[in-house]
Amino acid sequence: MDGRGQISIEVVFFIAIVVVIVLVFASIIGDQNEQNMVSSAVKLGAENATTNMVITNTGMTPVRVTSISMVADGTAENVTVRFSGSLTDTQKGVVLNSINQSLVKQGYSDTLSNTANVLTLSTKRHTYTIGF
């Protein structure tokens, strides 16, 4: 730098490189954050539904969520919820309704489609298919 307040070209290049690196990491982090939020909402909704069903129906065998798996296929994400026991179709409908409510409370659109015990959520980045 000379004494006239000008910035050298090296400083400008350094700042440009830092900005590019930050933008690349921000896009990756945003994508992973969305997937984590959806997965957490699905698990919380399923756990709330199964807990509520066991409490209100004393004859029901306790069922818990054992795992949530997410498989990516491009922009389509298949989310599978696994339980420690089996559920009837009516109970699956209750669980999907609870998952829907959990996703809405996370800030996702209330226009989720629920057909044949499969819930579909479309976001700006992915389309999530949630099933059992």
User: What does the DSSP assignment read for 53-102?
Assistant: HHHH-TTSPP--EEEEEEEEETTEEEEEEEESS---HHHHHHHHHHHHHH
Domain count for the chain = 1
CB-based contact 41:106 (threshold 8 Å)? yes
**Any domain includes 80:** yes
The span from the CA of 71 to the CA of 88, in Å, is 25
Per-residue model confidence as pLDDT tens digits over 38-96:
999 999 999 999 998 888 888 888 888 898 988 888 778 889 899 988 888 888 888 88
At 19 the pLDDT is 94
**Any domain includes 18:** yes
Is 70 exceeded by the pLDDT of residue 2? no
The span from the CA of 114 to the CA of 131, in Å, is 10
Which amino acid, 99? I
At 110 the pLDDT is 65
First CA to last CA distance, the chain = 64
∠ CA 12-14-16, rounded to 5°? 70
- Domain limits for position 81: 9-131
Per-residue model confidence as pLDDT tens digits over 10-42:
888 899 999 999 998 888 888 888 889 999 999
**Any domain includes 122:** yes
Residue 90's CATH number: 3.30.460
**Any domain includes 1:** no
**Any domain includes 4:** no
